[in-house]
């Protein structure tokens, strides 16, 4: 596994170096936009600001199967349990020791010699006394320091008589509280409970009962001192009570279930407490799962995006190198995800299956036409479909609908031979949508009405035909214009001499070149069909490859009658005129806005071949050593694909065959065979096909196709020569 990942990483680095970073950056930007759409789909603001009795402002259909608790019902159960359950307190450990420490500290303060120091210390410690008692303590403080045992005795009497708690709960206590001691659980009634800090009135009766004959001021002083020293003997244990309440609540609460596809409320229905509880439960569930799902989906969507780029490169690296193909893929990538997001946002406004809100048909029709690569288009569409999984509106029927439409592209794209065929493809996709409408209602909508079904069928066919019309009238013409794409329909227009102003001009200004180009286009079409490449593209490339000859048509042999203007020119001048037709052809093509693929035919069809006639003429005049061979070669570049390589072969063979047929009485089918073999071998030896990927088997197919068609074309010439030889014998 590690070796495979390393291999992929190395290939990715090599691809980045070969293609450049810009295309990868474009895909990175596209992924960022899509990740935002995925995230937004899980945080779409939901209006649940409803009151019981309000009409619903939208239809809400559950996208999940989940359980929830009715919050209103839970609140009632919780209130009942809270009222019925007592409050728990736990004793304070080492309370007596704490009291004795506080008492000793107080008596130490009482024993301070100087009265001024004593008063300062009392204030610093925070002791509080009434005026009468404070006067008594100041006069008798040394006496009081000797009564430690009496204070202890009073303390023990107090803790025997009642509990001192830190606080009472905010809610009303019915009868008692529970205190857990080492001896067990005790129910303590309210009359045996006092809250810290104690009131003097709670302690004074205890002191009076123990020391009834003592000085009343002494008893009051002892009571107030105890008030200052006593701390709670028990503190409230809310954790224990809450745990008991929670346990009891778990036993009594009941889960309710909402199924995927269940209508929670229809638009206009009046809200009841039960429906409002369902709505709250539904939105709470969505909020709980949103965060986790978004993070997980963003990770998987990133991996899928990387896979798209990787397989794009593997399936057709040449297509990836063309910037417009990357732009087209990215635009439809974003459009697909935007449609998933918008379908989710608007799903409750239409009582139809959600896949009818996703215009996948628009991508299915246009992508194969614009990329001109059905296999790559199907792969990209499948990857786009996979992104639907990451949206909260995902449903298996809708997902299968996307997949079936995408897979149907593998054969339905062949229907699009003419612009009127869009309607037949729309009908096919409409039928697929109709079948899935029936599946969707069977699977999710048990209470379907005739109106809903009729509306969905209308959407199924209407969506399909609308996408076909928009594709035909807007999308394809717009993309053809903006990106200068040689779609089949654009190529059909370019291949028609009656609609192409450039072919009309070529026919009028250079009729010989026009006839040569028409023949070449036909030969190219047949040979391309044998190679499995686009015959129409090859045909149009053949038609336009020599348009540069229009500026000086008489300097090219196919346009000459009797006078050859090269007879009056030096070889160096003649060769510059001949070579210029490539550059001038490119300029004319750009002026007329021909697609880049057609311009490649013009630029590459001669490669770097030598213009032999004028080279040998110059060598005869000046000597081989006095001329530069490169001056008599076309500037290139070499053919970089099968189309332009095929054109070079066909152009060379046709020109040579035409020359032989006009000037040689021994012309025959064997001659054509020899010309084809010699021409291809010569170009291979020159390295003209070094940059294209033609195989030896494909060369054989090309030879067979050219031979078949040229033999048929020159059939009358060959038959005439045979009869002439026979009569001569």
How high is the pLDDT of residue 298?
86
- Token readout for 281 is 């439960």
| Domain 490-728: CATH architecture, name and number where available | Orthogonal Bundle (1.10)
The CA distances from residue 569 to 566, 583, 622, in Å, are 5, 21, 15
How high is the pLDDT of residue 601?
95
How high is the pLDDT of residue 174?
63
3-state secondary structure of 169: coil
Q: Where are the domains of the chain?
A: 2-52+272-485, 84-240, 490-728
User: Among all chains, which residue has been given the structure tokens 């969506």?
Assistant: 463
Is residue 304 within 8 Å of residue 92, measured between CB atoms?
A: no
Residue 510 backbone zone (phi > 0: left; psi -120 to 50: alpha; other: beta)? beta
Is residue 311 within 8 Å of residue 15, measured between CB atoms?
A: no
DSSP assignment of 456-475, as one string?
HHHHHHHHHHHHHHHIIIII
Low-confidence ranges of the chain (pLDDT < 70): 1-21, 44-50, 170-174, 316-317, 348, 351, 415, 442-449, 663-666, 715-729
Distance (Å, rounded) from C-alpha 663 to C-alpha 683? 24
Whether the predicted model's global pTM rises above the 0.75 cut: no
* Paired sense of beta strands 176-181 and 88-91, if any: parallel
Handedness of CA 372, 376, 379, 380 (dihedral sign): negative
- Token readout for 330 is 């990215």
How high is the pLDDT of residue 331?
93
How high is the pLDDT of residue 676?
92
**In terms of Cα–Cα distance, which of 707, 580, 598 is closest to 649?**
707
How high is the pLDDT of residue 718?
47
Cα angle 683, 687, 688; round to 5: 60
**In terms of Cα–Cα distance, which of 620, 644, 650 is closest to 713?**
650
What's the pLDDT tens digit per position in 196-213? 888 889 899 999 999 898
How high is the pLDDT of residue 558?
85
How high is the pLDDT of residue 16?
43
How high is the pLDDT of residue 729?
46
For 458-475, give one letter per residue: b (16+ CB within 10 A) or e.
ebbbebbbebbebbbeeb
Residues pairing with 257 in the sheet: 67
């Amino acid at each position: 596994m590690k070796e495979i990942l390393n291999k992929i990483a190395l290939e990715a680095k090599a691809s980045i170096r070969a293609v450049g970073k810009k295309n990868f950056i474009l895909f990175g930007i596209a992924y960022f936009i899509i990740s935002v759409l995925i995230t937004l789909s899980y945080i779409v603001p939901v209006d649940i600001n409803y009151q019981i009795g309000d009409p619903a402002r939208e239809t809400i259909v559950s996208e999940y199967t989940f359980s929830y608790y009715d919050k209103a019902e839970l609140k009632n159960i919780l209130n009942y349990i809270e009222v019925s359950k007592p409050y728990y307190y736990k004793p304070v450990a080492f309370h007596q020791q704490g009291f004795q420490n506080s008492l000793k500290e107080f008596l130490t303060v009482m024993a301070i010699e100087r009265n001024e120091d004593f008063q300062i210390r009392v204030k610093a410690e925070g002791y509080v006394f009434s005026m009468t008692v404070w006067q008594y303590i100041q006069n008798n403080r040394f006496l009081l320091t000797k009564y430690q045992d009496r204070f202890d005795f009073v303390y023990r009497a107090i803790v025997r008589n009642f509990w001192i708690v830190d606080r009472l709960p905010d809610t009303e206590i019915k009868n008692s509280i529970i205190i857990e001691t080492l001896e067990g659980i005790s129910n303590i009634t309210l009359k045996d409970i006092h809250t810290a800090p104690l009131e003097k009135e709670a302690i004074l009766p205890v002191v009076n009962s123990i020391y009834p004959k003592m000085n009343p001021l002494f008893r009051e002083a002892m009571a107030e001192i105890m008030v200052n020293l006593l701390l709670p003997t028990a503190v409230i244990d809310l954790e224990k009570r809450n745990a008991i309440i929670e346990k009891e609540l778990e036993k009594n609460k009941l889960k309710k279930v909402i199924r995927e596809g269940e209508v929670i409320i229809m638009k206009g229905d009046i809200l009841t407490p039960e429906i409002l509880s369902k709505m709250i439960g539904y939105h709470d569930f969505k909020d709980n799962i949103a965060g986790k799902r978004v993070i997980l989906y963003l990770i998987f969507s990133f991996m899928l995006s990387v896979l798209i780029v990787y397989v794009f490169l593997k399936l057709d690296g040449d297509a990836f190198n063309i910037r417009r193909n990357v732009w087209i893929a990215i635009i439809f990538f974003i459009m697909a995800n935007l449609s998933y997001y918008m379908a989710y946002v608007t799903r409750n406004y239409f009582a139809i299956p959600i896949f009818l809100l996703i215009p996948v048909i628009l991508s299915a029709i246009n992508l194969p036409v614009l990329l001109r690569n059905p296999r790559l288009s199907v792969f990209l569409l499948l990857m786009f479909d996979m992104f639907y999984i990451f949206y909260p509106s995902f449903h298996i029927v809708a997902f299968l609908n996307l997949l079936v439409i995408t897979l149907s592209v593998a054969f339905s794209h062949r229907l699009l031979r003419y612009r009127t065929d869009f309607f037949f493809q729309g009908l096919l996709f409409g039928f697929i949508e109709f079948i899935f409408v029936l599946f969707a209602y069977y699977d999710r909508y048990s209470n379907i009405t005739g109106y809903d079904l009729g509306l969905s069928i209308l959407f199924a066919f209407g969506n399909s035909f609308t996408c076909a019309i928009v594709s035909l009238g807007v999308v394809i013409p717009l993309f053809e214009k903006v990106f200068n794409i040689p779609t089949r329909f654009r190529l059909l227009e370019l291949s028609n001499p009656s609609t192409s102003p450039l072919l009309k001009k070529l026919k009028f200004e250079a009729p010989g070149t026009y006839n040569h180009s028409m023949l070449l286009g036909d030969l190219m079409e047949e040979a391309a069909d044998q190679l499995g490449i686009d015959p129409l593209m090859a045909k149009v490339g053949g038609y336009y490859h020599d348009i540069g000859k229009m500026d000086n048509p008489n300097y090219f042999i196919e346009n000459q009658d009797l006078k050859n203007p090269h007879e009056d020119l030096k070889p160096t001048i003649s060769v510059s005129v001949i070579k210029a037709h490539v550059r001038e052809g490119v300029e004319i093509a750009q002026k007329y806005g021909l697609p880049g693929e057609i311009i490649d035919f013009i630029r590459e069809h001669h490669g770097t071949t030598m213009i032999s006639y004028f080279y040998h003429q110059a060598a005869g005049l000046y000597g081989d050593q006095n001329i530069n061979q490169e001056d008599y070669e076309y500037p290139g570049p070499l053919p970089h694909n099968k189309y332009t390589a095929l054109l070079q072969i066909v152009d060379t063979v046709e020109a040579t065959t035409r020359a032989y047929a006009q000037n040689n009485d021994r012309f025959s089918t064997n001659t054509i065979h020899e010309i084809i073999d010699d021409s291809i071998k010569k170009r291979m030896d020159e390295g003209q096909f070094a940059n294209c990927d033609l195989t030896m088997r494909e060369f054989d197919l090309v030879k067979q196709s050219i031979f078949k068609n040229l033999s048929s074309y020159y059939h009358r010439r060959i038959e005439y020569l045979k009869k002439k030889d026979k009569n001569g014998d």
